[in-house]
Structure 1
Amino acid sequence: MKILNESIDKKKSSGNFDLLPECPDDIYELSKIIVQNDKIKSYTHRKLSIDGRNQQKIGLILTIKLESFTADLENGILYAKGKVCAENEHVKLGSYHTLEIELDKKFSLYKDNWSKSDINILKEASKGSQNILLIIIYEKDAVLCLVGKNRIKIINKIDIKNKKFNNLITIISQNIDKVEFIILCSAINLLNDIKKFLLENIEKIKKQIKNPKINVKEKILDIKIPSEMKNFTNKQIVNYIFTDVEISKRFNNLKYITDIKEMSNYFLLFDRGNMDYLVGKKEIRESLDYGALDKIFFTDEFYRPHEIEKRRKIEDFCKILEISRVKIFIIPVNHLLGERLKEIGGVCGILKFLYK
């Protein structure tokens, strides 16, 4: 979540935040703080009568006083319904309208009384997600994966045949200020050509990014993977990069890497048959009641259900885990270890001690 502007009267606690949601988690966080009678201002579309008969859809900025909302966490959209409460030449005051709060679309949220907890939720959401942009280079195309916040998402595929590398400059310029690193990886020698091309165009990239303080060279890493992996799937390559001991040292400070390593250790014990301290989904609650649970692993699907009520139940359960000092690890199902975790129920744990 980006906080674009903050205008709060400290004495009255009233005012507005200008916000830009960047991922579905931001939509969920907004669903926790938006309440009836809040005012929301956003660019939208509305059908208007032009000559009394024909209607035309036009773009305009509307402010509504919220009456109700629903959230689609899977697609990252919050639908806010209410009455238009600010003057607009095209729409009457008091008319109903539904604003769509979407990813990468700015809007303003006004409250008569901002609570400290609501402001904290926004501040926490704005701290960033330690994302990595992973660009997997094949012979004719490059696949772009966003890795972070315990999830892996393929966001694009671009054509690079005949060494059309200019698209990479655009992609890197658009994302370099949003991620911790940009990793170029490949099993073929084309990686060297791309690296050389980018170094020759560093100044061009710098001119296209908003933050001049960013050290472009430091944020772009290149990783040559074994040649026998040239026909591997995206998932297999991601798994290799983030579980290889030497490679992962280059970005060891990311929580995602820690979570993957811990999950790998769990399955190492599992595969060796050292089952005494390992618990599955059914034993989690019982081991927690005995104070015996040390670590818990969730798939990202289990941890972030698309229904708000289910999501809040998981959140409440995690608060109990934190009070009990249980370490929480989230594993993306798009990772091979996440696939294995999903197969055994999406949840498992490691004990501190045997309780029965």
Structure 2
Amino acid sequence: MKLVYRNINKDSSGQITLIPEDGEDMWHAYNLVQPGDSLRSTTLRKVQSESSTGSVGSNRVRTTLTIAIESIDFDSQACVLHVKGRNIQENQYVKMGAYHTLDLEPNRKFVLAKKCWDTVHLDRINVACDPTQNADVAAVVMQEGLAHVCLVLSSMTLVRAKIETQIPRKRRGNAQQHDKGVEKFFDSVMQAIIRHINFEVVKCVILASPGFVKDQFHDFLMSQAVKTDNRLIIDNKSKFICVHASSGFKHSLKEALLDPSVASRLSDTKATAEIKALQDFYKTLQHEPDKACYGLKQIEKASASDAIDVLMITDMLLRSLDIALRTKLVKIVDQVKDSGGVVRVFSSMHVSGEQLGQLTGVAGILRFAVPGMSDSEDSSSEED
């Protein structure tokens, strides 16, 4: 998704201009567009005209319309969003107040205006417009004195940092200088990894090099993480994998990605991550039922106590036309994030999203048991 223009006021009202580029972007658009918003885009309109001889004909003209949205329909097969509403701006072909349907599709620019852009909407825009948010794989391609820190996307590779350091050659009598140079180089690479890799998204970090450089760096990285108690590296230790590459230049990444040990790691996707989260919830519900909850009443109670470690919610629930309900859900999402919890928005297009939808659409794994939670169990299932 391309972000063309963004103007959000202090009261959270404003408009954003976007260009969806593929089917996934259309799904993001479907989750952004809501009744009550206004939408501006180009469209074809059938116009009747009368000739000088009195004959009447019709032709289709392209024009730009702004409508107040009343209903939305998403055709997932054609990746087209049909948005119906009344025209709210003067147009030579369409009367004010007349109904029209705007069809949004990939590579067609649109302007979406809302009275309130809440944090859930803005988070979705950040994810859709920042390709690094969708980068499942990171890689450090290196050789002595040269390293490229990359994010691997489905359609391209982004180089986030290039580290070049002059390292004295290892000769008799200057081994200490050489070792210091290598340590300085490794430290620069480590800082680049911490700065540029989002470990919440990335599921595999490839360390690739000729010879033993990758192994030496891996040992340095882990020992430094332990010395400085860097939880980011320690907690994600299992995501690092060392493979061979012929050089530290970007083009060597291709051979690293073909390594069988890397291919096995890449079988995991966002969808399977959602399934694992749901499995963890069911396990908790079975073995530690006091640390699992579902339904709006229970989730509200747990959120008020800052007890939610993992919140799972369907995008379908977040598309609710009930403004009061949506406001309540957004507040819970914000509370969980503020308390250091993880929020997973499940896609209703995946099996895991359907399963969660059958379980009221919202569930949570708790850090600790919340007293009186069972009192709200019955009412939560009735409400949702």
Output the TM-score relative to the length of structure 1: 0.49
Output the TM-score relative to the length of structure 2: 0.46
